[in-house]
């Protein structure tokens, strides 16, 4: 059986205990990194405050020209920061529009439209241009009225998203009959167009628009001019509208354009930061967030340097975040290394685990644990499955006897393994095993080369020291040499 098919599962409880054992190192690493970042940020903040404070000169050696140039750069930086803020708001607005507006939900291949024609009749004696005033009044009411609020709430959108799908046009009121009679009425037409994602939507909105026109008729008839209106008819149709497709693409492309403008402003802000001698634009942004703009002109240039009080808290506050990030980051890195080491360097913990993984290897014997800490400084947990009621001497005698029985028909026997060399040698001597003891097969090519010379191999592996992957490789190399593995002794 391939031992790789019996790879042990990761024990979460054991993993947590391993990480907790390294808690002290994690705290120290976090404290060191956090302290370093905290100090770095505080020092940078002091320098940044000095440079960006236009109320004082940097030093007695800073000339008026140098000071004015510094102020110009600071004002440029504020301009870029304000521009970035405005562009960011536009991007947010554009994203909201794309996600929520009805216009962006329309399928340009299936655009539904409803068009209504409404005639407007005037007495021919009315003042020229009064028809235009009436058309404008109806147009303003359609676009500004609150008649769509309830319907918008019903379908889960905003009234403005509906109003942008309504268009209004008109034709001037002219004499409809050629006559010398000055009392002949003049007739014009209003055209209302509604387009949208569905036929039902267009019909519902058109009904609301027509009702609104009828509801304001009495007011306009009295306040603007006497007239009559009549609905000629409403036409519904479906079409392909390339203009809507182009408009939708334009809205999407607008975000890319705004993002490019922000990137350009950030590049310029980096250049200004470099010219000012500030380490990065983030320091400028942080300063502007907490300091109001100071207006400076030729009349109020500072005469020289001054001792400006800067509170201790204003210096420490920016560093706290960096210190916290550094502390968490340092602790996390150590924890991650511990976890990776646990996963990729799993060791043999118990004899049951070893013989459960490598079922093709016979058990020759298991040395009795010497307590929580052995003489070879290899931590061994005393568990029932690895311990024995026999005394340590009797366990050794039992292992030696079993070893002799299994190797009695073999000529030359090689004893090798992947544990601690000193511990393995001590066990080899205390067990008084007959055979050649040659540990460390991976670092000594001569041991591997000698494998075919032996009639049998005995493995000696050490708990909490031997890596599972090393034992796997060891067994594969021995198998390639053609010499059978007699069994294993766990120390």
Q: Provide the residue range defining the domain that includes 178.
A: 110-239
Residue that has been written with the tokens 């790879």 in this structure: 7
Considering only CA atoms, which of 291, 282, 335, 339 is closest in space to residue 311?
291
Helix, strand counts (H, E) of the chain: 15, 9
- When mean pLDDT is compared across 48-62, 86-100, 424-438, the lowest value belongs to 48-62
Over the stretch 360-384, which tens digit does the pLDDT of each residue have?
999 999 987 654 444 443 344 444 4
Rounded Cα distance, 81 and 409, in Å: 87
Name the band, by pLDDT with cuts 50, 70 and 90, for residue 330: confident
Q: Which of 1-5, 46-50, 279-283, 329-333 has the lowest mean pLDDT?
A: 1-5
Specify if 37 maps to a domain: no
Please name which of 56, 178, 162 lies closest in space to residue 102, comparing C-alpha atoms: 162
Q: Which of 92-106, 404-418, 424-438, 470-484 has the highest mean pLDDT?
A: 92-106
How confident is the model at residue 373, as a pLDDT? 43
Angle at 105 between CA 150 and CA 139, to 5 degrees: 50
In a domain, 30, yes or no: no
pLDDT, mean over the chain: 81
Identify the domain boundary among 189, 212, 239: 239
Say if 87 falls within a structural domain.
no
Return the top range by mean pLDDT from 61-65, 329-333, 348-352.
348-352
Which of 184, 215, 239 is the C-terminal boundary of a domain? 239
Query: What CATH number is given to the structural domain containing 160?
Result: 3.30.70.1120
Residue 264 covered by a domain:
no
Question: Strands 436-437, 413-416: parallel, antiparallel or unpaired by DSSP?
Answer: parallel
Same domain, 360 and 234: no
Flag whether pLDDT at 297 surpasses 70: no
pLDDT at 165 over 90: yes
Is residue 311 domain-resident?
Answer: no
User: For residue 474, what is the enclosing H or E element?
Assistant: helix 468-481
Say if 213 falls within a structural domain.
yes
Report the Cα 27 to chain-centroid distance in Å.
Answer: 26
d(CA 403, CA 299): 102
Provide the pLDDT for residue 182: 45
User: Confidence class of residue 55 from pLDDT cuts 50, 70 and 90?
Assistant: confident
Q: For 450-464, how does the pLDDT look when each residue is reduced to its tens digit (9 = 90+)?
A: 899 999 999 999 988
For residues 62-80, average pLDDT: 87
Burial track 8-24 (b if 16+ CB lie within 10 A, e otherwise): eeeeeeeeeeebeebee
Q: Is 486 helix (H, G, I), strand (E, B) or coil?
A: strand
The 10 Å Cβ neighbour count of residue 234 is 17
How far is CA 63 from each of CA 56, 233, 306, 454, rounded to the nearest angstrom?
12, 79, 15, 90
Q: In Å, what is the CA distance from 146 to each residue of 169, 195, 279?
A: 20, 19, 53
Confidence of residue 14 (pLDDT cuts 50, 70, 90): low
CB 225 within 8 A of CB 124: no
Q: What are phi and psi of 11, to 5 degrees?
A: -90, 110
SS3 state at 283: helix
Nearest to 342 by CA among 9, 40, 104: 9
Q: Is residue 427 part of a domain?
A: yes
Does residue 82 lie within any of the structural domains? no
Judged by DSSP in three states, 53 sits in coil
β-strand partners of 187? 121, 174
Q: What is the mean pLDDT of residues 56-73?
A: 80
pLDDT at 285: 85
More confident residue, 43 or 491: 491
Q: Write down which residue in 180, 213, 239 finishes a domain.
A: 239
Integer Cα distance of 427 and 433 in angstroms: 9
What local confidence, expressed as pLDDT, does residue 242 receive? 94
Ranked by mean pLDDT, the top range of 119-133, 248-262, 335-349, 433-447 is: 248-262
Torsion of CA 456, 458, 459, 463, to 10 degrees: 170
Q: Can you give the three-state secondary structure of 329-384, one letter per residue?
A: HHHHHHHHHHHHHHHHCCECCCHHHHHHHCCCCCEEEECCCCCCECCCCCECCCCC
Residues 77-112: tens digit of each pLDDT? 999 999 999 999 999 999 999 999 999 999 999 999
From CA 419, how far away is CA 460, in angstroms rounded? Answer: 7
Here the CATH number for the domain that contains residue 403 is: 3.40.50
Q: How far apart are CA 33 and CA 53, in angstroms?
A: 30
Beta-carbon contacts of 185 under 8 Å, excluding residues fewer than 6 positions away, are 121, 122, 123, 124, 176
- Which helix (H) or strand (E) element contains residue 324? helix 312-344
Give the count of domains, the chain.
2
Task: Note the maximum CA span of the chain.
Answer: 139
pLDDT above 50 (res 179): no
């Amino acid at each position: 059986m391939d031992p790789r098919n019996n790879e042990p599962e990761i024990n979460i409880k054991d993993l947590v205990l391993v990480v907790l054992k390294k808690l002290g190192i994690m705290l120290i690493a976090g404290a060191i990194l956090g302290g370093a970042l905290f100090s770095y940020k505080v020092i940078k903040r002091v320098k940044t405050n000095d440079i960006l404070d236009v109320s004082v000169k940097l030093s007695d050696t800073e000339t008026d020209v140098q000071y004015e140039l510094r102020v110009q750069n600071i004002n440029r930086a504020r301009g870029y920061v304000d521009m970035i803020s405005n562009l960011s708001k536009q991007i947010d607005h554009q994203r909201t529009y794309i996600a929520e507006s009805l216009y962006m939900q329309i399928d340009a291949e299936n655009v539904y439209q409803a068009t209504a024609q409404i005639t407007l009749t005037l007495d021919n004696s009315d003042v020229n241009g009064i028809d235009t005033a009436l058309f404008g009044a109806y147009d303003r009411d359609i676009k500004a009225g609150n008649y769509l609020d309830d319907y918008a709430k019903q379908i889960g959108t905003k009234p403005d998203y509906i109003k942008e799908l309504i268009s209004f046009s008109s034709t001037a009121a002219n004499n409809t009959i050629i006559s010398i009679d000055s009392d002949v009425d003049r007739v014009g037409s209003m055209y209302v167009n509604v387009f949208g994602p569905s036929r039902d939507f267009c019909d519902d909105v058109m009904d609301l628009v027509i009702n609104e026109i009828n509801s304001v008729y009495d007011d306009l008839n009295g306040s603007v001019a006497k007239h009559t209106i009549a609905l000629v008819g409403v036409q519904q149709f479906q079409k392909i509208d390339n203009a809507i497709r182009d408009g939708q693409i334009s809205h999407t492309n607008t975000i890319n354009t705004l993002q490019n403008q922000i990137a350009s402003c950030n590049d310029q802000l980096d250049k200004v930061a470099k010219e000012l001698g500030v380490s990065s634009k983030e320091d400028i942004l942080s300063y502007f967030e907490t300091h109001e703009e100071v207006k400076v002109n030729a009349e109020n240039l500072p005469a020289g340097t001054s001792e400006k009080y800067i509170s201790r808290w204003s210096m420490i506050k920016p560093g706290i975040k960096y210190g916290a990030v550094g502390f968490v980051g340092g602790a996390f890195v150590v924890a991650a290394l511990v976890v990776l080491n646990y996963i990729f360097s799993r060791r043999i913990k118990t004899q049951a685990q070893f013989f459960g993984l490598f079922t093709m290897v016979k058990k020759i014997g298991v040395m009795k644990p010497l307590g929580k800490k052995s003489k070879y400084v290899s931590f061994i947990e005393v568990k029932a499955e690895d311990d024995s009621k026999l005394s340590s001497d009797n366990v050794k005698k039992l292992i030696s006897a079993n070893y002799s029985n299994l190797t009695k028909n073999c000529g030359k026997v090689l004893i090798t393994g992947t544990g601690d060399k000193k511990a393995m040698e001590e066990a080899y001597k205390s067990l008084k095993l007959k055979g050649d003891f040659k540990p460390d097969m991976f670092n000594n090519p001569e041991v591997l080369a000698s494998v075919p010379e032996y009639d049998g191999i005995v493995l000696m592996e050490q708990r909490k020291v031997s890596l599972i992957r090393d034992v796997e490789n060891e067994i594969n190399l021995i198998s390639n040499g053609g010499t059978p593995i007699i069994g294993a002794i766990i120390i």
